[in-house]
Amino acid sequence: MVVLDPGHGGTDTGARGAGGAVEKDVVLNFARITRAELERQGFRVVMTRNDDSNPSYDERAAIANAHRDAVFVSLHVSSTGAPGNARVYSYRFSMGVPATSASNGLVAWNEAQQPYVDASHRLADILQIELAQRFAGSPALSIAVPVRELRSVAAPAVAIEISSVSVADPNSLTAFAPPLVTAIARGLTIYRPAIPIGAP
């Protein structure tokens, strides 16, 4: 199950470009195109939003956490940067801070990503390699940072950010959709066989 998370939504517009591009709309379009292609290739896909709503971080995480075999991919567009760059992020907890557990041994909701950090980093690196082949100037490896929407996801989880909404013609951002979709589909196909049965 691939959970596609178009960032922002509703009153949270995300980044805005001088040419009129709005991140929440761009990423929703990217997610719809990605969903159609992934489903065509046999993936099961659910989206955290398919309209101009703005689910909370916990609501987005809950959608992924409801599926045992989920992979969570959050989509974003940056406010700055050279057009056509792509970066993939996995979650990084503070150094030396162990996951907190409830008395029954379960990991706390706001630490749910902790057991999946390595799996998320592996997925992020695979996706970054695929994106770098299609978005010139992109880094070769992913970056681990505290991206809030990933923290409560109990599954491999990454955020992908495309540069940037600061383009003269907002319609030019649609040209990024095909290489983005291809990179995500190829990356997930490579990642999927590497997951041992019963592993996070």
Tell whether the model's pLDDT for residue 61 goes beyond 80. Answer: yes
**What's 54's domain CATH number?**
3.40.630.40
Alpha helices, H only, the chain = 23-40, 57-65, 117-132, 177-191
Does 200 map to a domain? no
Closest CA to 92 of 163, 142, 131: 142
pLDDT on residue 197 = 43
Does 189 map to a domain? yes
Does 65 map to a domain? yes
CA 174 vs CA 1, 2, 152: distances in Å: 25, 22, 30
Does 98 map to a domain? yes
Does 43 map to a domain? yes
If one counts the domains in the chain, the total is 1
Tell whether the model's pLDDT for residue 107 goes beyond 80. Answer: no
Strands (E), 63-199: 71-77, 86-91, 143-145, 157-162
Does 199 map to a domain? no
Q: Please, what is the average pLDDT of the chain?
A: 91
Domain that holds residue 172: 2-194
The token duo for 143 is 């970056």
Cis ω on the peptide bond leading into residue 164 (within 30° of 0)? Answer: yes
Mean pLDDT of all residues in 29-54: 97
pLDDT on residue 198 = 45
Could you report the per-residue pLDDT of 151-196, keeping only the tens digit for each? 999 999 999 999 999 888 888 899 999 999 999 999 999 998 655 5
Is 92 buried (19+), middle (13-18) or exposed (0-12) by CB count in 10 A?
A: middle
Count helices and strands in the chain by DSSP H and E runs: 4, 6
pLDDT on residue 102 = 47
